[in-house]
Amino acid sequence: MQISNATGCSSIWGGSAPCMPYTFNADGFGPAWGNSLFEDNAEHGLGMHLGAKQLRNRVEIQLNELAPIVDDAAVKTAIETWIENKNVGEKTREYSSGLAAALQSYKGSNPEVKTLISTVLGNKDYFEKRSTWIIGGDGWAYDIGYGGLDHVLASGEDVNVLVLDTEVYSNTGGQASKSTPTGAIAQFAAGGKAIKKKDLGMMAMSYGYVYVAQVAMGASQAQTIKAFAEAEAYHGPSIVICYAPCINHGIKDGMGSTQPHEKDAVTCGYWHLYRFNPDLKKEGKNPFVLDSKEPSGDFKAFLKSEVRYNSLYKKYSVDVVDALFEKNHQDSQERYASYKRMAADLSDK
């Protein structure tokens, strides 16, 4: 795994000493983490991916030159297996280790073969298919870095994007972003944001060949894990948008309650769970799967459980605040209605 991380909260907990969440296993394998500028993280991650892809293509070219002249059946088999499964991520380490072992054990005397093998082994670190993840918050993905993100998703390359959606510019002081919903208080939206939240997932789905998922771990760990597994398995661009409660939300029960708070957000219809997998179209199925059930919780009570919403009552009359809350509720209902239409069976269309 190789990670390109946009400057922000995820770079603070992702790359700070003396402790960090990324490590390696007993064999020395683990993620390579890099921190990019705030505005160009998607392009930075794409560059990392394309660099590794080019070196792996070079290895394949050299192996195709080697296969016809090598006088060792085991080496031939290892080469053919690797080329055939070059982009299969699930067993990439097995096939790559097998190829390296076969090449290193070659006992022949053909100088041309030995030279080619030496050249190929010079890039053995690129035998394995690398999993590229581009990570950042909503300030980057929805706002400052959106142009680059859109470019990367449109490229069709096999990269994965993880958006930690706090609905605000968390790391720089809590400014409103295009992800901030109607009525939420933030810097530059001190009276509550007047317009609704941008639907990044729907915009990405419009390409038709981008895997898109929206998740909330506290609402459904199973759906979250399934989305990550599908995104990783999908041979093309993918984006997973995660609901990420933030200290700027002012959750009244405290940050220790974020997991049940996520569940409340989904139950009342504030946040929706879905997966859009273009591979399902090849099976004649609807690529859009709505994982959220019909909202049943108290939407207004959920908003009141956060200071960013509830503090509006200190600024305006009850009627004004209730109207903003109702607008937020309507926006959420409209989003859910559009998702339900998309989730209708193909036979109904």
pLDDT score at 346: 55
340: CATH:
3.40.50.970
Stated as kind and residue range, the H or E segment containing 33 is: strand 32-36
Examine residue 205 and state whether it is found in any structural domain, yes or no: yes
Examine residue 8 and state whether it is found in any structural domain, yes or no: no
Q: What is the mean pLDDT of residues 206-216?
A: 97
Pick from 289, 275, 145, 138: nearest CA to 211: 275
Give alpha helix (H) positions in 178-272.
200-205, 221-233, 258-267
Examine residue 267 and state whether it is found in any structural domain, yes or no: yes
Distances (CA, A) of 22 to 7, 14, 30, 145, 330: 17, 7, 8, 24, 40
Question: Does position 197 have pLDDT exceeding 50, yes or no?
Answer: yes
**Percent of the chain whose pLDDT exceeds 70:** 98
State how far the Cα of 75 lies from the Cα of 120, in Å rounded to an integer.
Answer: 13
Largest CA distance in the chain: 88
Q: What is the mean pLDDT of residues 80-102?
A: 94
Pick from 213, 182, 327, 197: nearest CA to 279: 213
Per-residue pLDDT band for 18 (boundaries 50, 70, 90) equals confident
Considering only 24-38, 199-213, 261-275, 295-309, which range has the smallest mean pLDDT? 24-38
Examine residue 223 and state whether it is found in any structural domain, yes or no: yes
For residue range 27-47, what is the model confidence (pLDDT) as tens digits?
888 899 998 888 899 999 999
Question: Does position 173 have pLDDT exceeding 80, yes or no?
Answer: no
Alpha carbon 149 to chain centroid distance?
11
Summary mean pLDDT of the chain = 93
Pick from 6, 12, 9, 13: nearest CA to 35: 6
pLDDT score at 188: 65
Give how many domains the chain has, as a whole number: 2
pTM: 0.94
Q: Which amino acid is at 35?
A: N
Stated as kind and residue range, the H or E segment containing 74 is: helix 73-84
For residue range 218-239, what is the model confidence (pLDDT) as tens digits?
999 999 999 999 999 999 999 9
Examine residue 324 and state whether it is found in any structural domain, yes or no: yes
Examine residue 46 and state whether it is found in any structural domain, yes or no: no
